[in-house]
Amino acid sequence: MPFPDSADVGGELTVGGAASPFSAVYVAPAEESSPAEIEQVLVHELVHAAQFQQRVPQQVRTEIPDDHRSTRDAELVITSMLEGGAVYGSSVYTERHGLAIDPEIEVLERLYPNASAGTKLVWGPYYYGGQYIDSVAADPDDHWKVYEEPPVTMRQVLHGEGEPVLEPFEATLTSEDDNGSWEEIRQETMGEFVVRLVLETQLSTETSTDAASGWAYDRQLRVASDDESPDGHVWSVRFEDSANASTYATALASYLDARADSSEGTVSTVDDSNVSAADSNDSDVSNTTWYADEYAFTTATPDERTVALVGGPEAFVEAASVEATADGDPDMETETNTNIRLSVTDTRDENATQSVTAPGLSLGAVAGSVSASGVAAP
């Protein structure tokens, strides 16, 4: 496993390792590393070498639907299958050969729950991927079948669900602003795992897990302006039903309360340990703006299943509005397969308006301690 924050390892994980698609395997032990630790990491990397020989990364990627394949969530799925398979293989090897060390999957089960959010982002594919493959594979030889029909979302990896839940949004940027004050920089789909981790930077694991469950899809979008700094962000998360969306909305308000230095407007939150769908249905987080560092934040509910978080410079947040649309019609009567449109009206020019469909939020704006760049293929 990669070396995370030193405070999260408790003196364990002293051996580093890597494998390349060209069948090269590297092991980097420390002076205090035991032979059993070195052997376990070697086995982990040899599993990767076998995965590359069998073209597992390509096989898993091919099974992910085209409109989801290039997302961050999909990359996490691919990494989870690769690292989960290696964790599973090394753990079985450790037990069968009686190595004087705990199996890798047990080490993760011991360390992961108390790790920082940044470490959890890196370890997540190992932890949840290993659990997923352990739950569906009868033995090491049989585990190769997992790659033939792999999960396609991190929601499946987290919950062991067979059928994916995918409701992709369309994402377009249209501008009626001749001055071009806001421009799309990047858009992404993060998935349930990242939604959970962002909340967990401020809330308990139980609350964050409950709030992120029911995820159906999300889109994040980053926009920039030559006249404003920092960039503007919107993260729209759609859930299976209104109850799950309400639970998330209340947890999101609690998250913003914990993260913000100040706020204006109506703030309605509940005890972190008791956020539930039943409690959150009565929440009122509209007309609230939170302030943290150089960012302002607000929330919106463009339809009963979608919650949007808007963040950026105060001028952007004040000018932004989010609505659900069907085929470009803001007066649609159903939210099924609808898009989410962000309209930004430049307050310096009342005639300047831009629209963005299916927006989202960058991790850097929401939780600086969680870095998406920490996720990489083995």
pLDDT digits (tens, 9 = 90+) for 226-277: 777 788 888 999 999 999 999 999 999 999 999 999 988 865 444 454 444 3
> Contact, 306 vs 245, CB < 8 A?
yes
Domain that holds residue 108: 6-164
> Contact, 378 vs 18, CB < 8 A?
yes
In this predicted structure, what is the pLDDT of residue 271? 47
| 157 and 288 co-located in one domain | no
In this predicted structure, what is the pLDDT of residue 128? 97
* In-domain check, residue 136: yes
| 229 and 362 co-located in one domain | yes
Name every residue whose Cβ is closer than 8 Å to that of residue 319 and which is 6 or more positions away in sequence: 344, 345, 346, 347
H helices of the chain, where?
A: 35-53, 56-63, 72-96, 104-111, 117-136, 154-159, 192-200, 205-212, 242-259, 277-280, 314-319, 363-366
* In-domain check, residue 134: yes
State how many domains the chain has. 2
| 84 and 183 co-located in one domain | no
Name every residue whose Cβ is closer than 8 Å to that of residue 150 and which is 6 or more positions away in sequence: 59, 60, 63, 77, 81
In this predicted structure, what is the pLDDT of residue 286? 58
| 210 and 338 co-located in one domain | yes
| 294 and 329 co-located in one domain | yes
What CA–CA distance (Å, rounded) separates 126 from 135?
14
In this predicted structure, what is the pLDDT of residue 165? 66
DSSP code string of 301-335: EEETTEEEEEEESHHHHHHEEEEEEBTTBTT-S--
| 201 and 76 co-located in one domain | no
Name every residue whose Cβ is closer than 8 Å to that of residue 224 and which is 6 or more positions away in sequence: 182, 183, 185, 231, 232
* In-domain check, residue 106: yes
* In-domain check, residue 1: no
> Contact, 203 vs 196, CB < 8 A?
no
What CA–CA distance (Å, rounded) separates 320 from 346?
9
| 221 and 145 co-located in one domain | no
Of 107, 130, 164, the residue at which a domain comes to its end is: 164
> Contact, 155 vs 164, CB < 8 A?
yes
* In-domain check, residue 278: yes
| 186 and 302 co-located in one domain | yes
What residues of the chain score a pLDDT lower than 50? Answer: 171-179, 268-271, 273-285, 328-335, 347-378
Of 141, 164, 187, the residue at which a domain comes to its end is: 164
What CA–CA distance (Å, rounded) separates 167 from 163?
13
Structure tokens at 206: 């139980």
| 251 and 338 co-located in one domain | yes
| 101 and 230 co-located in one domain | no
Output phi, psi for 173, to 5 deg.
Answer: -125, 120
In this predicted structure, what is the pLDDT of residue 302? 85
* In-domain check, residue 97: yes
What CA–CA distance (Å, rounded) separates 233 from 239?
20
In this predicted structure, what is the pLDDT of residue 356? 40
* In-domain check, residue 192: yes
| 149 and 65 co-located in one domain | yes
What CA–CA distance (Å, rounded) separates 341 from 329?
10
| 253 and 158 co-located in one domain | no
pTM for the complete prediction?
0.84
What CA–CA distance (Å, rounded) separates 74 from 153?
6
Q: How far is CA 186 from CA 94, 301, 332, 334, in A?
A: 43, 22, 27, 28
* In-domain check, residue 378: no
Q: For 121-151, how does the pLDDT look when each residue is reduced to its tens digit (9 = 90+)?
A: 999 999 999 999 999 998 888 899 999 999 9
In this predicted structure, what is the pLDDT of residue 241? 93
Of 164, 194, 216, the residue at which a domain comes to its end is: 164
